[in-house]
Amino acid sequence: MKLIVGLGNPGAKYAQNRHNIGFMAVDRIAADHGFSPWRAKFQGQIAEGRFGSEKVVLLKPETFMNLSGQSVGDAMRYLKLTPEDVIVFHDEIDLAPGKVRLKTGGGHAGHNGLRSIHGHIGPDYDRVRLGVGHPGHKDAVPGYVLRDFAKADQDWLDDELRGISDGIAHLVAGERPKFLNAVALRVAPPRSSTSASKPEKPAPAAAPPKDTRNAMQKLVDRFR
């Protein structure tokens, strides 16, 4: 069994914030893959489903971001899982918008949701880092992540969420490169091989045949 956690803050006020991209990711997975309706449990909302023989529980903590670990810890203990069974989707200011990276273990880099999870289950869980970009100065970070995505972000954001949904079964199966490839195919699809090619240059005209007549023949031909 896998516990897949999307981080964010509950309520309509925060729904489109950059900080809520984790919620957005698990919402897309649940909608695209026929998961059960969301219901309240573990101080959050859960939805259940399967990828092949692997049961998966999706979790959106409703403790607010800074206390996310309470919900994650409750779910992990109740489901009798280890940190290695947990995958957390979260916003990452140190990655450019549209970039997705995977990480296992390590520090929380100042992310308050991860800091809380570390405190409850330790650091040895998988994270999917979803780039939202950096405002340029650390003092501007709180306001930046708690603002909605701009209209200009909607295209890459939708592509990224679709790619996550496309590849989630690979991630659950431990096939990390295949997951990242599925995201890349949505965010930066290869150029179509059917695109119009440049017109070919016309072949040079053939040289005229060499004139082999002698002077007398040329004079006769001229007055014919």
Give 40's strand partners: 45
The Cα 84–Cα 92 span in angstroms is 21
CA distances from 155 to 20, 136, 159, 160, 161 (A): 17, 23, 6, 9, 10
Q: Which residue has the tokens 């679709």?
A: 162
* DSSP annotation of 212: -
Catalytic-labelled residue, pool 19, 90, 111, 118:
19
Distance, in Å, from the CA atom of 167 to the CA atom of 163, rounded to the nearest integer, reads 6
**19 in catalytic set:** yes
Q: List the catalytic residues.
A: 19
